[in-house]
Amino acid sequence: MKRMIPMWIAIVAGFAMLFSAFFPVTESLGEIFGDMFNVVAAIAFILGAGSLAKINLAKVSRRDPGWGYAAVTLACFALTLAAGLGKIGAAPNPKFAALAWSGDERAEGALFGWIYESALVPITSTMFALLAFYVASAAFRAFRAKNIDAILLLSTAFIVLLGRTFAGVVLTGWFPDWASGLRLENFSVYIMQVFNTAGNRAIIIGIALGVAATSLRILLGVDRSWMGTGGSK
């Protein structure tokens, strides 16, 4: 019973969404299920936050190694949550100025927006920027032009990199007009439009077939691995 009910919930919800795309009569049902999905997904953020608080509070109370960082996490979490839910410092919406909560919590001047600009944006963008060094370092250590596959990968990466920078123009800008297609900036565009398009298209088609097959297995109750151990048939 503990497994049958969830399986049927998944089947009914999935087929409702599927039918709503094909039968106009069930379109509104699909919209309602979509709204319910959005609400449950939003509540899932509360679950994530609860889990985060539980783990970090346990770390702080046990004085585990690094508990100070857990305390920083909790403090930042509480401050951001209070700033966002309370819309602290948010100017009212000029259209509905009389309403207490009409303002935009992300607007300029709001504490939540300030936290976003001062902490979230710099940390996340710097973390992604840091990957430039790690990707380059990993490529330097791992990429070896041992065979034709590796040569193709390496040379394409170099052409695309050089073709999108001024270095490419400097290196091959002197090519005559009849060979302009071989200039790095043009050649990289050709690679992107032809070879890259073909490869990506095949990958996308493969993914779509895989997603459709997996989804059908779930909707038909064949795949129950999402329920945890012992769920698959």
Distance CA 233, CA 229 (A): 11
Q: Which of 25, 144, 148, 230 forms a contact with another protein (CB under 8 A)?
A: 148
Sketch the per residue contact string, 190 through 209, with another protein: x for CB under 8 A, - otherwise. Answer: xxxxxxxxxxxxxxxxxxxx
Binders of another protein among residues 171 to 190 (CB under 8 A) are 181, 190
Residue 221 lies near another protein (rule: CB under 8 A): no
Residue 119 lies near another protein (rule: CB under 8 A): yes
Residue 60 lies near another protein (rule: CB under 8 A): no
Residue 136 lies near another protein (rule: CB under 8 A): yes
Q: Which of 27, 214, 222, 232 forms a contact with another protein (CB under 8 A)?
A: 214
Binders of another protein among residues 74 to 103 (CB under 8 A) are 74-81, 84-85, 91-92, 94, 96-102
Binders of another protein among residues 13 to 32 (CB under 8 A) are 13-18, 21, 28, 32
Query: Which CB atom, from 65 or from 174, has the smaller least distance to another protein?
Result: 65
